[in-house]
C-alpha cells in the first residue's frame, strides 16, 4: 500500500482528503504544520508528499527544499491556492513534481497522484502484487509464476483491476476500456469476463461492489 504524507493546516480539508485518499486504497498521514511533517519523514518511508504552501512553523516550499537537500527524492505535489507565477516556479525549483490548485476536482487529484506513482514507483501497481504479476514486455499476467490463459479483453480487465488494486473500478470505466463505441459492450458480457477471471484465480478476491463496479482485493 502506498503511504502518503499530507501537509495541510486546514483541518476540515485535511480530514476530507484523508477520507478521499483512504477510500482509494492509500495509507495517509496528515500533519497540520511543517515541523511535524518534517519529523515524520525521519521515521516513515512515504511514497508521495502532498504539501500545502502556507502552513505554520515550516512552510511547504521550505520543507521540500530541506528534504531535497537531504537527498530525499520522494515525489511531491503542491496543493495550493497560490496563483503567483514566482511561487509556482519556486516550487518546481525546490523539486516538486506537480501542482494542483484549490479548489480542485477530486478525480483530477486522484489521476495526478496515480500518474506520478506509476511513473516513480512502477512496481507498486504495474509489476507484482503478491503472487499476481504483470509482464509488461510480453503483455501477459502470471499467477504464482504460471502464465494465465487470458483473452485480450480478460487481460485488459485484470490489468485494470491490478492498476487500481484495493479500489473500486466503476463499471462504466471498465466498459469504456474494454469495448469501443462500435462494439457495444454490456454489463452481462462484463460479468462473464469477471467470472472467467475468478475461475482462473480461485485464491484471489474480486469483489462485486453492487451497482458501482469491481474491486481486486489483496
- 116 and 48 assigned to the same domain: yes
Q: Is the pLDDT of residue 8 over 90?
A: yes
Q: Is the pLDDT of residue 40 over 90?
A: yes
Range of the domain at 199: 128-217
Pairing, β 27-31 against β 3-7: parallel
Nearest to 4 by CA among 92, 88, 117: 117
Helices assigned H by DSSP within 70-207? 85-93, 106-120, 152-163, 171-178, 187-200
Domain C-terminal end among 123, 154, 183: 123
pLDDT at residue number 1: 62
- 51 and 112 assigned to the same domain: yes
DSSP state of 8: -
Q: What is the CB neighbour count within 10 angstroms for residue 197?
A: 21
- 95 and 134 assigned to the same domain: no
Sheet bearing 146-147, strands edge to edge: 128-129, 132-135, 140-143, 146-147
pTM of this prediction?
A: 0.56
- 32 and 109 assigned to the same domain: yes
How far apart (Å, rounded) are the C-alpha atoms in residues 186 and 179? 9
- 42 and 108 assigned to the same domain: yes
CATH number, domain containing residue 159: 1.10.10.10
pLDDT at residue number 84: 62
Domain C-terminal end among 104, 123, 142: 123
42-46, long-range: CB < 8 A, 24+ apart: 44/3, 44/5, 45/3, 46/3, 46/4, 46/5, 46/74
Q: Is the pLDDT of residue 125 over 50?
A: no
pLDDT at residue number 73: 86
Q: What is the pLDDT of residues 168-200, one digit of tens each?
A: 999 998 998 898 767 778 899 999 999 999 999
- 32 and 19 assigned to the same domain: yes
Q: What is the mean pLDDT of residues 134-145?
A: 85
Per the structure, how many domains does the chain have? 2
- 191 and 206 assigned to the same domain: yes
- 69 and 159 assigned to the same domain: no
Amino acid at each position: 500500500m502506498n503511504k502518503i504524507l499530507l501537509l495541510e493546516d486546514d483541518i476540515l480539508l485535511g480530514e476530507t482528503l484523508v477520507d478521499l485518499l483512504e477510500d482509494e486504497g492509500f495509507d495517509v498521514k496528515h500533519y497540520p504544520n511543517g515541523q511535524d511533517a518534517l519529523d515524520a519523514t525521519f521515521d516513515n518511508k512515504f511514497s508521495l508528499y502532498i504539501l500545502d504552501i502556507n502552513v505554520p512553523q515550516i512552510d511547504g516550499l521550505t520543507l521540500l527544499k530541506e528534504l531535497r537537500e537531504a537527498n530525499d527524492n520522494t515525489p511531491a505535489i503542491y496543493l495550493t491556492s497560490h496563483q503567483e507565477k514566482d511561487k509556482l516556479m519556486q516550487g518546481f525549483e525546490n523539486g516538486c513534481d506537480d501542482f494542483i490548485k484549490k479548489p480542485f476536482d477530486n478525480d483530477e487529484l486522484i489521476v495526478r497522484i496515480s500518474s506520478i506513482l506509476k511513473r516513480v514507483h512502477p512496481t507498486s501497481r504495474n509489476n507484482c502484487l503478491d503472487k499476481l504479476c504483470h509482464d509488461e514486455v510480453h503483455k501477459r499476467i502470471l499467477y504464482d509464476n504460471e502464465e494465465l490463459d487470458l483473452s485480450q479483453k480478460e487481460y485488459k480487465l485484470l490489468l485494470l483491476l491490478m492498476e487500481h488494486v484495493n479500489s473500486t473500478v466503476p463499471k462504466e470505466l471498465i466498459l469504456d476500456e474494454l469495448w469501443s463505441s462500435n462494439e457495444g459492450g454490456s454489463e452481462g458480457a462484463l460479468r462473464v469476463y469477471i467470472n472467467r477471471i475468478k475461475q482462473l484465480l480461485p485464491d484471489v478476491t474480486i469483489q462485486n461492489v453492487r451497482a458501482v463496479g469491481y474491486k481486486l482485493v489483496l
